[in-house]
Chains A and B, each alone.
Chain A
Amino acid sequence: MLTQLKDIIGDLGFLSFEISLAAGAIVILILGLVVKHKLAYKVGFIAVLLLALLLLSFGQEEVLLLGDNLQFNDLGALLKALFVFTAIWIVFYPTAENHGSEYYFLMISMILGSALMLSANNLLVIYLVIELTSFASYSLTNFDFKKKSFEAGMKYLLFGGVSSALALYGASILYGYSGTLSLSGMDFGVVENSAFLNLGMALFIGGVLFKVSVVPFHIWVPSTYEATPTDAVAVLSVIPKIAGFVLLNRILDALNVYEISWLLNTVTILGIATIGMGTLGALRQTNVKRLIAYGAVAHSGFLLAAVLIPFENGVSAFVWYAVVYALMNVAVFYLVSLFESKGMTEVDQFAGLYKKEVYLGGLVVLVMISLIGLPPTSGFTIKLFLFTVMWEWYQSVGDPLTVAYLVIAVISVVFSLFFYLKIPYQMFLRDGQNTNYSQSSLSQRVIATIFTLLVLWLFFRPEILNNIANNIKFLDW
């Protein structure tokens, strides 16, 4: 008993990132009681994140902690750093002006949940961290305190609730068949091909797919993105998603998915459907955030491809994609929030805006180009690399589904042109009156420029992405 406790205490050293986040979250909550100044929360938020980042350690061997409940590796560390990097910017968003301390508390909770998702290796832990992330997300959705927010929050919650209930049911079946909650110890060798077990797998994976917004679990995405404060969306669309994909990969690995063809095929088809549905769905959107939300769904399809690819380049592709995806989302949501703060949420409100805001317009174009995946932006680099790896995937397995995946992915790029360019199209090609529009401030422009330049810079220097990917010692996740 004592040795166990000692082990646990010893393991806590590895958990410094998570612990500091948890502690920080509580500190901020308390701070909210003491200090009423909004700036303090922002500073606190940044401090907590930076502290956590400082305590993050890279370059370790893969370790199992707390029994085998958590699995730590370098990929996780890297992605945690990415999470911090993504989240830290939200304080600069104009929509982040009025948030209280509980907002930052929830935000940190969500990051914490996602960070733990990266290492969760036990059904119980998985369930808990998913719920932790979800609860934080549900709550954050309401933070605009409008009719719409509550509606979206409620839908999100009900949807999430059903998904997680089903996932829990699935988890219970998995537990029943394997007799263990530990992913690494799971073995269904004896009872293969039982319908009940398959149901369990499907339901459990469904719970994770919900987090990564893969079709058909993407339905919550548009309304949630629309109603949630934009700064929160920037985080929501990146951090839980990336964490969810890592988790999904671990689960698929544990279930030995490459041996279970129906599961693999299902997930592959869902990936294709995700790209298709996201792209087609986005075409008809007129609300900027809904539009980008559908785009994000399509991006999930791309990320899923990287997750499914069974060799090390898949990991690299995933890391590349994740990093750039995070960057692009930070940039695009920053721009969106700038416009949102001036009351512009619908696409046609942007008509003729170039007269007032040609500079930001240019940045919007670049970021959108990156989201589409055209040069000279890093959005192109990652798509190129992903397509390359998909080619290789086909070369090695020869499965026609992989070709279909590749083709749909490529075609979706053409379609995505339509909706991503809607805003630039309105801004530059249409005439309109924006008499009430007030120009953005210099600092806002500078921040937007930094984001955009990052997106461009990684195109010209992709080896940075590669170095990041290469520094992960354990490329097999």
Chain B
Amino acid sequence: MKGDMIHMAFLLLLPLIGGLVAFASGKTKAPVVALLGMIPGFLLSLLMLNSAFADVIVYRWEWVPGYELGWRIDEASALLIALVNFISLMVHLFSATYLKGDAGLNRFYAKLGFFTTSMLCLLAADHLLLLFVFWELVGFSSYLLIGFWFQDPAKAKAAREAFMVNRVADAGLLIGVVLMITVLDLQFLSELSSQNSSFLLTLAGFGLLIGALGKSAQFPFFGWLPKAMAGPTPVSALIHAATMVAAGVYLLFRVQPILIPAVQSATAILGALTAFMAAVAAITQFDIKKVLAYSTISQLGYMVMGIGVGAEDASFFHLWTHAFFKAGLFLGAGAVINYLHHVNHHNHDFDAQDMRWMGGLRKYLPVTFISFVICGLALSGLPLFSGFLSKEGILTGAWLWASQNAASQGWWVYLISDLGFVTALLTPIYVGRQIWLVFFGESRSHMEQYDKAEPVINFKLPLIVLGIGALWFMHAINPFDAHGWHFGEILFGQAEHIESNIPLYTMILSIALAIGGIAISLVFFGPKSKKTESFSQAQGPVSFIGKLSFNSWYVEKSYDWMSVGYLKLTQVFNRIDRRIIDRIVDSVGVCTVVFSKVLAIFDREVIDGLVNFAGWISKTVGAMLTGIQSGKIQNQLVWLLVLLIAIILWFQF
């Protein structure tokens, strides 16, 4: 057992240590050093996979008096840990070239290492609080990485906004976690079991859901993910496609036993809605990364929907396959951007991420092209690619769930599965559009192009490996069996046999939708279409739906409005504080009138504060006092007598 502990500690901390050493070793050596940390980390994770399948690793210790925290690596954790290590390794490799020459390269690797460790710990955490800790830490490291090029104000702003949106959701998660720990006494993920429904449980469930929605960029929180594209592209591949954003799904997957039906329905609805909304948004984007970002949101929506409809095994599978092909897509996009940067080296006329300046890149970036297409087809859900397998499971699950619940909950449950299918049609459309616009046709940038754009192995290797990872055989033997995942049995046991035709219908429908989608994209965006030729002059859409799509349903805009409103509110509060509370308290504290005025005077003229104060008192305390103290002795005497007589009269009568 002790050996396991050390094993686990090494596994979890190696990326961080590697990153820190890389930071210390300077920017030229940093990539090598970080890789030297990552490779054994990856190997260790494979070993761990092996041992975790044999025996779950558990370690608990007292954090504060009365509370134990715990690590636990079971099969699912081990699998995802291996995945994270793998993608991280790829990204480490890729970044070495992508960020070559950047002054902050060592800083980058430190942050990357920090992220990887946080993510691994998140997966290994068993106690909810521990999970929350690393939940926050991955958010923080994501903030650091998005803001990697902080000199650019827009990027710094994007980092902040991404973090803020997450933070809002995290507040919900915190309430959920605290309720679970203190009130419901459900502290360990591995010990969750279904509970009797209660108000607090509902509240906790919604809290956890909000947290998950935030991290997995679901409606209404999805606006942060497109903004997060401000980070370096490899980072997007790792964090904003494959790993961190999947944490929300992972959390829901873990806490699924305690989610009561109301929360489950909400999960399904929000997931389906997000899948659809994001797919719509992806169709009109110009930025190569934004398309991918919305597609990520959309796919995560599938996963969340899967949890909601009770197909958590399919969701988990989709999480797994999605990690490979989406990382591949992002790295491919990174290669494209990197190439355009070179093209654009001397004159910064255009944005290297803007698809309007691309086109015809298959000639210059052949490896990238192939990998991108494979991954794109996986994303579209074409058979023989990994995405098909996992998405199938979710769609089937949704349909099954709808057919089971329609009687009890009403017709609207079908809307959820229908949205899933609509999204399945939209997905190949935007994927196709992207592939056509980027790789086919002729270059629209009118610049000198380069031939040897993929010179080094660390560029090509990740692309090739991830491209292979998007093929079906890496995940299941039968390309049409959604339950045929290699690890499915280990994780979820023997798949139940479903007495229904629905899986067959879904399969046929989704194959048709995928092919149809690609066809539509070919018609509209293919190399021959008019739109493509004039694409370099294209502006944002003008129709209402087009605008809605381009602005991604105004979710991001609404954040801006809210933040402006909030800022105004704080200004108002500030004014209240200075003008009202400051005064009121002063006056309540000592003497109602005197002090408020005193401080008014102080505010105006501090220099002579005391003197003014005295002067004011003399005026305010009144004519009476002034009369008495006028110095005219007879006046004074009159007052004295009046007072005396008044007192005597008062007490006599």
A interface, CB within 8 angstroms of B: 155, 158-159, 162, 195, 198-199, 202-203, 206, 216-217, 219, 222-223, 262-263, 265-266, 277, 280-281, 283-286, 348, 411, 414-415, 418-419, 422, 425
Contact = CB atoms under 8 A, between A and B. Distances in A.
Contact of B614 (A162, A217, A219, A285): A285
A284 B614 contact: yes
B611 A281 contact: no
B613 interface: yes
15 contacts: A158-B633, A162-B637, A202-B647, A206-B644, A216-B639, A216-B644, A219-B628, A219-B636, A262-B652, A266-B651, A277-B625, A280-B625, A281-B625, A284-B615, A286-B611
Contacts of B629: 219, 222, 281
B447 interface: no
Given A217-B640, A222-B629, 19 more contacts: A155-B633, A158-B637, A159-B633, A159-B636, A159-B637, A195-B648, A206-B644, A219-B628, A219-B640, A277-B625, A280-B617, A281-B625, A286-B611, A286-B614, A348-B611, A411-B590, A414-B590, A418-B610, A419-B614
B650 to A, nearest CB: 8
B621 interface: yes
A21 to B, nearest CB: 32
B2 to A, nearest CB: 60
A278 to B, nearest CB: 12
Q: What 4 A-B pairs are tightest by C-beta distance, nearest first?
A: A284-B614, A262-B651, A284-B618, A283-B617
Contacts of B640: 216-217, 219
A195 B652 contact: yes
Contacts of B652: 195, 198, 262
Contact of B613 (A158, A283, A348): A283
Contacts of A284: 613-615, 617-618
A199 B618 CA distance: 33
Nearest to B618: A284
B508 interface: no
B641 to A, nearest CB: 9
Contacts of A265: 651
A153 to B, nearest CB: 12
Contacts of A158: 633, 637
B591 interface: yes
A277 B618 CA distance: 11
B567 interface: no
A216 B613 CA distance: 24
Contacts of B618: 284
Given A159-B633, A162-B637, A216 B643 contact: yes
A412 to B, nearest CB: 10
Contacts of A162: 637
B631 interface: yes
A198 B590 CA distance: 37
Contacts of B633: 155, 158-159
Contacts of A277: 625
A12 to B, nearest CB: 39
Interface string B607-628: 0001101110110010001001
Contacts of A415: 590
Interface of B: 590-591, 610-611, 613-615, 617-618, 621, 625, 628-629, 631, 633, 636-637, 639-640, 643-644, 647-648, 651-652
Nearest to B616: A284
A422 B610 CA distance: 7
A65 to B, nearest CB: 34
A223 B647 CA distance: 26
Contacts of A219: 628-629, 636, 640
A158 B640 CA distance: 13
Nearest to B609: A425
A448 B205 CA distance: 73
Contact of A198 (B617, B643, B648): B648
A199 B648 contact: yes
A280 B648 contact: no
Contacts of B614: 283-286, 419
Contacts of B590: 411, 414-415
A223 B625 contact: no
Residue of A266, A283, A419 with most partner-chain B CB within 10 A: A283
A217 B641 CA distance: 10
B639 A223 contact: no
Contacts of B611: 286, 348
Contacts of B617: 280, 283-284
Nearest to B637: A162
Contacts of A195: 648, 652
A415 B598 CA distance: 12
B436 to A, nearest CB: 76
A350 to B, nearest CB: 12
A307 to B, nearest CB: 18
A300 to B, nearest CB: 16
B636 A266 contact: no
Nearest to A199: B648
A195 B648 CA distance: 9
A217 B639 CA distance: 10
A232 to B, nearest CB: 21
A168 to B, nearest CB: 15
Nearest to B635: A219
Residue of A195, A284, A415, A419 with most partner-chain B CB within 10 A: A284
A73 B647 CA distance: 34
A422 B611 CA distance: 9
Nearest to A279: B617
B503 to A, nearest CB: 81
B638 to A, nearest CB: 11
B649 to A, nearest CB: 10
Contacts of A223: 631
Nearest to A162: B637
B620 to A, nearest CB: 10
A266 B647 contact: yes
Contacts of B651: 198, 262-263, 265-266
Nearest to B652: A195
A164 to B, nearest CB: 13
Contacts of A283: 613-614, 617
Nearest to B611: A286
B621 A280 contact: yes
A202 B610 contact: no
A262 B651 CA distance: 6
Contacts of A262: 651-652
Contacts of B631: 223
Contacts of A285: 614
B599 to A, nearest CB: 12
Residue of A216, A418, A425 with most partner-chain B CB within 10 A: A216
Contacts of B628: 216, 219
Contacts of B625: 277, 280-281
A277 B636 CA distance: 15
A161 to B, nearest CB: 10
A202 B613 contact: no
Nearest to B628: A219
Given A198-B651, A283-B617, A414-B590, A425 B610 contact: yes
A265 B651 CA distance: 9
Residue of B610, B636, B639, B647 with most partner-chain A CB within 10 A: B610
Contacts of B613: 283-284, 418
A128 to B, nearest CB: 23
A265 to B, nearest CB: 7
A131 to B, nearest CB: 19
A206 B610 CA distance: 34
B587 to A, nearest CB: 13
A264 B495 CA distance: 96
Given A284-B617, A284-B618, A202 B644 contact: yes
A159 B644 CA distance: 15
A199 B644 CA distance: 9
A414 B648 CA distance: 32
A333 B611 CA distance: 22
A202 B643 CA distance: 11
